[in-house]
Structure 1
Amino acid sequence: MIKLERATKHVRMKGVSKTIIDNVSFMIPRGKSVGLLGRNGAGKSTLLQIIAGTLDLDKGRVIRRGKVSWPLGFQGSFQGNLTGEQNVRFVARIYGVDTDELVDYVADFAELGAFYNAPVRTYSSGMKARLAFGVSMGVKFDYYLVDEITAVGDTNFKRKSHQVFTDRLADSDVIMVSHSPETLRDYCQSGIVLENGKLTYYNDIEDAIVVHEENLKRR
């Protein structure tokens, strides 16, 4: 269970203050994967960071009952001067998992070769994405937060990534941001629409998609 209590968050965009969520009390239940929909700039990625705990609220609090991942599409937490392996060891210590086991898992999964022992600042964006996804799959969470899931690498790597992620969701839920209704239908059963600082939960992802598309028509 993830619960927001009287949660408020403002951000500055192009010098203008924007309300992302406004005095919201809301619960995301366990047991169903959720698609998060909203207009461009509504604050979906910001909300994921709030749920993850990487961004603080201005007011209110977030209650988490379960282990919550960082947003899977986010690579900015890597220290560029450290190697891929050193970054993985740091993550392992933070999340209390076996360090050597995670290092070996990511080495095999990410297929970075010698670059695994090179500074992350030398990586291409695709290599960073492989490292980020490998670390995320190597740590088991109750909730996986996904910000625009991106397929990287060749066909075999994409197939492997999809299979591992699907396997993880057998015992875990996902909260996913995507502009693709088909992607949301593939992974999510229910939906949340973020509109004008408010969150509305829909038990069926199809209902959430319909409401979101109607919102877009009212620009």
Structure 2
Amino acid sequence: MIRFENISKGYMIRGRWHQVIDRLDLELPGGQSLALLGRNGAGKSTLLQMIAGNVRPSTGRIISDGTISFPVGYAGSFHQDLTGAQNTRFIARVYGVDSDELAAFTEDFAGLGKYFHMPVRYYSSGMVARLNFGVSMGIRFDTYLVDEVTSVGDAAFRARSQALFQDRMAQSGAILVSHNFSDIWRFCSAGVVLDQGRLTLYHNLAEAIAHHKEIMARPPAPVDERSGA
């Protein structure tokens, strides 16, 4: 379970206020894979960051009764001057898992070769995503936060990523951001739609997708010009 209690979050963008979340009170069920849908720029990544605890809401609080992963696909999870191996071992200590086991799993799964022992600053964005996915999936969480990462890499790596993610979903839940509806139908059983600061839960995935397509068919809403107070 993840519960939002009076959550609001906004930013100033070019002198104008952009409301990402507006007075959200909602409870998301545990143990389910939820598709997080919405326009580009609607605030999906910000919402994942708040759920993970990396970004603080402007008001309210988020409560969970289980463990939550860091956002898979978010490069900020790693220190740029540490190697992939060092970052992996550091994250293992943070989450209280065996560092040798996580390092071995991640090195094998990510397939980075010598780069696993090189500073992350020399990685391509795809390599960072592979490391991020391997580290996250190597730790057992109750809920995984995933942002497009199952589409990273060549066909063989994508197939391995999707198979591993599906295996984890047998015992865990997830909040998945993806523009690939094949992945959404494959991995998700319900959906939440973020639009103009409001988050709506649909237990029927088809209804969530229909709402998302209706949003995408209309012109974007103007930026909120409030002061942000």
Note the 1:19-58 alignment, pairs <5 A.
19-58=19-58
Q: One-letter code of the match for 1:57?
A: P
CA distance in 2, matches of 1:122, 1:101: 24
Q: Kindly provide the CA deviation profile for residues 91-139 of structure 1, in whole angstroms up to 9, marking residues without a partner as x.
A: 0011010111111111111112222111111112222121111101111
Is the counterpart of residue 89 in structure 1 residue 89 in structure 2? yes
Is the counterpart of residue 211 in structure 1 residue 211 in structure 2? yes
> Match of 1:81, SS?
coil
CA distance in 2, matches of 1:150, 1:158: 6
Q: Identify the range of structure 1 (119-128 vs 3-12) with the bigger mean alpha-carbon deviation.
A: 119-128
Q: Kindly provide the CA deviation profile for residues 130-163 of structure 1, in whole angstroms up to 9, marking residues without a partner as x.
A: 1111101111111111112343333332222221
Alpha-carbon contact 2:31-2:174 (below 8 Å) kept: no
Q: Kindly provide the CA deviation profile for residues 36-79 of structure 1, in whole angstroms up to 9, marking residues without a partner as x.
A: 11122111111111111110001000001111011111112211
Alpha-carbon contact 1:7-1:21 (below 8 Å) kept: yes
Alpha-carbon distance change, 159 to 212 in structure 1, aligned in 2, over 3 angstroms: closer
Structure 1 residue 82, shift from structure 2 partner: 0.7
Structure 1 residue 176, shift from structure 2 partner: 0.9
Alpha-carbon distance change, 13 to 178 in structure 1, aligned in 2, over 3 angstroms: farther
Q: One-letter code of the match for 1:218?
A: R
Q: One-letter code of the match for 1:112?
A: L
Aligned residue number for residue 187 of structure 1: 187
CA distance in 1, matches of 2:103, 2:199: 38
Q: Which runs of 4+ in 1 moved over 6 A?
A: none
Is the counterpart of residue 112 in structure 1 residue 108 in structure 2? no
Cα RMSD for the two superposed structures: 1.3
Aligned residue number for residue 169 of structure 2: 169
Aligned residue number for residue 152 of structure 1: 152
Aligned residue number for residue 196 of structure 2: 196
Gaps of 5+ in 1: none
> Match of 2:48, SS?
helix
Alpha-carbon contact 2:129-2:149 (below 8 Å) kept: no
Structure 1 residue 13, shift from structure 2 partner: 2.7
Alpha-carbon contact 1:73-1:150 (below 8 Å) kept: no
Alpha-carbon contact 1:37-1:212 (below 8 Å) kept: yes
CA distance in 2, matches of 1:42, 1:91: 29
Alpha-carbon contact 1:148-1:176 (below 8 Å) kept: yes
Q: Normalised by the size of structure 2, how large is the TM-score?
A: 0.91
CA distance in 1, matches of 2:136, 2:46: 19
Structure 1 residue 15, shift from structure 2 partner: 3.4
> Match of 1:27, SS?
strand
> Match of 2:130, SS?
helix
Aligned length: 219
Q: One-letter code of the match for 1:144?
A: Y
Aligned residue number for residue 126 of structure 2: 126
Q: One-letter code of the match for 1:66?
A: G
Structure 1 residue 197, shift from structure 2 partner: 1.1
Percent of residue pairs identical: 50
Q: Identify the range of structure 1 (42-51 vs 158-167) with the bigger mean alpha-carbon deviation.
A: 158-167
CA distance in 2, matches of 1:133, 1:40: 22
> Match of 1:68, SS?
coil
Q: Identify the range of structure 1 (81-90 vs 172-181) with the bigger mean alpha-carbon deviation.
A: 172-181
CA distance in 2, matches of 1:26, 1:134: 31
